[in-house]
């Protein structure tokens, strides 16, 4: 706030300095004009120049009032003969500067109305001067190469006013365009962040709830006959619930400020967590064969994307196929990570549950988006020999950036 006040004060000082410079220019034009001098006393040029230039100093505080004052004083000084022939346009310089600010800060329609009013005032004042005041002025001691004429005066004033309005309008358009672009980028960033968090929550909750649902179903069916299996299922449910809460806690921390000292960031899942992911799927009846490199130096973001793709693929197997055999293969060569998850389909010829035909689903969309983030490829669909195959390729640079 203090910085804004200092900045505003500096602008006022600059405007005051410009007003003084323009006042000196107007005074010089009155005392030594290219045409006949004014019949007013020479000393009157000082207060007249100060009055005509004063609106420049206050144009940022009240632009419209300053524009009206500048235009009115210039027109009045012209019609009263306080300005000299051939230099009438100089008295409209303050109007030009104020009109620029008005055009740069208000709408096109309103600033155009201000331009029209200023042009009308000039078109009225200049002919009045040349018809009522100019004939009574003494001839200039040194005639100008361009004799004073009201069409020239009106033309110069019109060009200056129109140019100032056009420049101000362009400046305002650029500011508005930049502001809209900044808002659009901010909205896009918020939307991307929401999608990322929604994708993370979908992967975490979808995988865990699928596993919990399977184990709860098993426990419900064998509750009376095999209580030991019930306890084992409840233990899996408990462990899965705790790990899910931890994951949800980590994802929701993304909504907090990065510099929040009260919350220590939790490590993101990666390649080292894939065996635990496979163990969860095995507890749901899926025979998982996991093949991953022993020593892998993947960037954190790429490793998390690999983990999420495998997690979602196993979730689909648990949810839509049930007990089956599934192979998970992850290959890393330092330039790209290749993931392949293949299942054998339902056992005993049982048809897959709805949704496992590869024709939609938020899980497949999320996996495809993760692959697209790295400029990679993603493919998912049923196999001719039965079952379902998911494959993804994530190219990356050693520093984790997209290739």
pLDDT in tens, 180-196: 887 787 677 667 666 76
Q: What is the pLDDT of residue 359?
A: 43
**What pLDDT is attached to residue 369?**
81
Regarding whether 152 and 272 lie in a shared domain, the answer is no
Establish if 258 belongs to a structural domain. no
pLDDT of residue 68: 92
Is residue 242, in this structure, part of any structural domain at all?
Answer: no
Which of 184, 207, 240 is at the close of a domain? 184
Q: List Cα–Cα distances, 19 to 49, 55, 70, in angstroms.
A: 10, 8, 11
Q: What is the per-residue pLDDT for 294?
A: 75
Cα separation values, 310 from 170, 204, 224, 342, Å: 53, 12, 35, 11
In this structure, is residue 88 part of a structural domain?
A: yes
**Residue 286 belongs to a domain:** yes
CA distance 266 to 254: 10
Classify residue 90: in a domain, yes or no.
yes
CATH code of the domain covering residue 354:
3.30.565.10
More confident position, 403 or 43: 43
Q: Is residue 10 part of a domain?
A: yes
Q: Which helix (H) or strand (E) holds 338?
A: strand 336-343
pLDDT at 117: 92
pLDDT confidence bin for 261, thresholds 50/70/90: very low
Please state the domain count of the chain. 2
Task: Let me know the angle formed at the C-alpha of 100 by 70 and 152, rounded to the nearest 5 degrees.
Answer: 70
Do the bridges between strand 377-382 and strand 286-291 make them parallel or antiparallel, or are there none, so unpaired?
A: unpaired
Mean pLDDT of the chain: 77
Q: Is the confidence at residue 16, as pLDDT, over 90? A: no
Inside any domain, residue 197: no
Question: Which residue range is the domain that position 22 belongs to?
Answer: 2-138+147-184
Residue 3 has pLDDT above 50, yes or no: no
Reply yes or no on whether the pLDDT at 36 is more than 80: no
Q: What is the pLDDT at residue 147?
A: 59
> For residue 292, what is the DSSP state?
-
Higher pLDDT, 370 or 75: 75
Nearest to 265 by CA among 310, 309, 300, 307: 300
pLDDT at 259: 46
Q: Which residue has the higher pLDDT, 113 or 82?
A: 113
* pLDDT score, position 400: 54
Q: Which band of pLDDT confidence, cut at 50, 70 and 90, is reported for residue 159?
A: very high
Q: Is residue 205 predicted with pLDDT exceeding 80? A: no
């Amino acid at each position: 706030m203090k910085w804004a006040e200092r900045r505003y004060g500096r602008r006022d000082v600059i405007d005051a300095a410009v007003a003084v410079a323009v006042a000196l220019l107007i005074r010089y034009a009155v005392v030594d004009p290219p045409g006949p001098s004014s019949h007013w006393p020479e000393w009157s040029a000082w207060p007249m120049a100060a009055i005509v230039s004063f609106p420049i100093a206050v144009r940022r505080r009240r632009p419209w009032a300053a524009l009206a004052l500048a235009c009115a004083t210039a027109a009045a000084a012209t019609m009263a003969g306080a300005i000299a022939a051939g230099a009438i346009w100089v008295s409209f310089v303050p109007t030009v500067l104020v009109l620029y600010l008005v055009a740069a800060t208000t709408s096109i329609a309103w600033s155009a109305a201000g331009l029209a009013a200023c042009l009308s005032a000039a078109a009225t004042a200049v002919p009045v001067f040349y018809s009522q005041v100019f004939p009574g002025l003494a001839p200039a001691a040194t005639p100008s190469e361009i004799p004073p004429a009201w069409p020239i005066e009106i033309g110069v004033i019109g060009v200056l006013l129109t140019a100032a309005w056009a420049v101000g309008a362009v400046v305002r358009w650029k500011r508005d365009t930049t502001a809209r672009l900044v808002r659009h980028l901010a909205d896009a960033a918020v939307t991307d962040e929401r999608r990322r968090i929604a994708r993370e929550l979908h992967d975490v909750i979808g995988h865990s709830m699928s596993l919990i649902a399977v184990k709860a179903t098993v426990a419900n069916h064998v509750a009376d006959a095999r209580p030991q299996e019930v306890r084992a299922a409840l233990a899996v449910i408990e462990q899965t619930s705790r790990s899910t809460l931890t994951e949800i806690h980590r994802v929701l921390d993304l909504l907090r400020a990065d510099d929040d000292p009260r919350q220590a960031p939790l490590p993101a899942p990666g390649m080292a967590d894939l065996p635990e992911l496979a163990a969860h799927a095995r507890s749901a009846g899926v025979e998982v064969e996991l093949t991953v490199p022993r020593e892998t130096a993947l960037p954190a973001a790429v490793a998390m994307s690999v983990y999420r793709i495998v997690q979602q693929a196993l979730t689909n197997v648990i949810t839509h196929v049930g007990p089956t055999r599934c192979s998970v293969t992850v290959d890393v060569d330092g330039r790209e990570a290749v993931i392949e998850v293949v299942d054998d389909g339902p056992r005993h010829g049982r048809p897959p549950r709805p949704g496992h035909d590869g024709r939609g689903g938020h899980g497949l969309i999320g996996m495809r988006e993760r692959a697209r983030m790295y400029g990679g490829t993603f493919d998912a669909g049923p196999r001719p020999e039965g079952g379902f195959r998911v494959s993804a390729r994530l190219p990356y640079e050693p520093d984790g950036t997209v290739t």
